[in-house]
Chain A
Amino acid sequence: MHPSADPPHTTIFKLLGTRFWVIAGLVTLGAALLLAEVLIEANAFEAFYEFTREHEDWNLDEWIMVALATLFSIVLAGSGIVLVLTRKLLRIEAQRRAFELKMEHSRQLVTLGTMVAGTAHSINNHLVPIIALVDLLKSESPADSHQARDLEKVKAAASNAAEIVSRMKTYAKTNHTVKGICQIGPATQAAIELARNALPQGARLSMQLKPVLHHVAVSAAAWEVVVLNLINNAADALEGASGTIDVSLRTDETPESTPQKGPVGGTPWVVLQVRDTGKGIAEADLRRIFEPFFTTKGLSRGTGLGLPESLGIVEAAGGRIDVNTEPGKGTCIEVWLPAMQAE
C-alpha cells in the first residue's frame, strides 16, 4: 500500500481555471468568425482563385501546400513546447509552495518553542509552592487521615501538571533531542513489549515484525515514544470494547509522493503500521489530529501531544505519518522512515 492523502496532482486545466478556458474558447471562436466575415466580405476566395489562375506558372498550389504544412508543424511544435514549459513551471511552483510550507512550519515551530519555554518556566514556578506546601502539610498530618489522602491527591494533580509541562517542552524541542540512530526491528520489538504492559482488557495486540535490520535516523528512546503513542491511541480508540491492534513492520519502495525526500540508490523505506478496529476518526477531527493539545479523549486521558510529538520525531528523521481511517471501523496509521545507507 502506498501512502495516501497527498496533494492532488495539479493539471494545466486546473491551474488556469474553468473561467480562463471558457473565455479563451469564446475569444478564439469570435476571432475566427470575424476573420471569416472579413474574408467573405472582401470576396477573398474568388480574388485568390483569379490570382492563381492568372499566374499558373508560379506553381502557387505547391507553395501554398508547403506554407500550410509549415504552419501546421509550427502550431503542433509550439503546442508541445508550451505544454512542456507549463509542466516545468507547475513543478517549480509546486516545489516553491512545498518549500514555503516547510519554512512556515519551521517558523511556527520556533514561535511555539518560545511560547512553550516561557509558559513552562512560569508554570513550573507556580507549581513549586503547591507541591512543596502540600508535601509539607501532608508530612504534618496523621498518615491515615482524610487530610493526608486529600493532600496526596492535590500533589498527584500538581505532578500531572508538571508532567504535561515536561512533555510540552519535549514536543517543542523535538527537533533537537531526537537525533540518534537505532536499528528499527529490535527497537520496535522492545517498544511493543513495553506497550503490551499498559494495554486495557479486551485489547489484543498482534505483531508481524519481519526481521527489519535497517537503521533509521531516530534515537531508540524517541522511537519508543512514537511506537508507544501510536499503540496507546489505538488502545484508546477501542474505548474499552474488545478489539485488535495489529502492528507490523516492513520495508517498502520510496513513497511515490515524496520523491525529493527519498533515499537514493535503492535504499528502502521502513514502514511501521498500527491498525486498530476501534471507533475511527471523524472527518472533522482528522485535519486536527497533529495539532498540539487537540484531543478527543477528554482531559483525564489525553494530553493532545502524542501525535504532534510523534510527527515531530518522525519528520526530524525525514519521514512521514499517513492516516487512513473509517469512522466506526478503525484506523490505520503508517509511519514511513527512510532507511539509512548501509556502511
Chain B
Amino acid sequence: MAKILVVDDDELVRYSLARVLSSDGHEVIEAADGVTGLRKFRASRPELVVTDIVMPEQDGLGLLNELRRIDQKTPIMVISGGGEIAGTDFLLLAEKLGANDILAKPFDNSVLLGKVATLLAGNSGG
C-alpha cells in the first residue's frame, strides 16, 4: 500500500505501530529520534510520516519544522502521550506548526488506520 516513516523513541511504541500499520498492508520504516527520522526521510521518501513529539536529539516539533522546510506535500501525523509548553498542548502546537493530523496516545487501531487512510487518500488525490 504505502511507505510510512514511524519516528518514536519508545521501541515498544515503534514495534506496535509497525505491526498495526503493516497488518494493514503498509511498508514501515522506523527511526528512534528526529535526526535519524530526517535522514531516513531523505533516503526513502515515504508517503506519510507518523512522529512522536518528546524524543531525544531532535524532538517531533523540530522534525516537523525541518520536514516542512524541505517538503510541503508529504502528510505528517503527530502523535503524543501528552504535554504542553506554556499552557498550549503539544498536539495543538503541532497542528499550528503544519501537522496534517494529530492523535493522542493511546489510541484504538481503527482510529489510527482511519486517519492514515484519510491522509494517504488526501495526498494521492491532491
Distance (whole angstroms) from the CB of A160 to the closest CB of chain B: 12
Is there an interface contact between B84 and A117, defined as CB atoms closer than 8 Å?
yes
Q: Is the interface of B mostly helix, strand, loop or mixed?
A: mixed
Is there an interface contact between B105 and A135, defined as CB atoms closer than 8 Å?
no
Return chain B residues, CB-CB under 8 Å to A136.
16, 19-20, 23, 109
Return chain A residues, CB-CB under 8 Å to B104.
124
Distance (whole angstroms) from the CB of B53 to the closest CB of chain A: 9
Known contacts A129-B13, A131-B108; is A124 also within 8 Å of B81 by CB?
yes
A133 vs B110: C-alpha distance in the bound complex, in angstroms? 12
A129 vs B16: C-alpha distance in the bound complex, in angstroms? 5
A113 closest partner in B (C-beta)? B84
Is there an interface contact between B10 and A132, defined as CB atoms closer than 8 Å?
no
Return chain A residues, CB-CB under 8 Å to B110.
135
B82 within 8 A of A: yes
Q: Quick one: CB contact mask for B62-102 with A, threshold 8 Å, 1 for yes? A: 00000000000000000011111001000000000000000
A124 vs B107: C-alpha distance in the bound complex, in angstroms? 9
Known contacts A124-B106, A131-B108, A135-B108; is A117 also within 8 Å of B83 by CB?
yes
A169 within 8 A of B: yes
- 8 Å CB contacts to A: which residues of B5-31? 10, 12-13, 15-17, 19-20, 23
6 shortest A-B CB distances, which residue pairs? Answer: A124-B81, A127-B106, A132-B16, A129-B16, A129-B12, A121-B81
7 A-B pairs whose Cβ atoms sit less than 8 Å apart in the complex: A121-B81, A124-B105, A125-B10, A132-B106, A132-B107, A132-B109, A169-B82
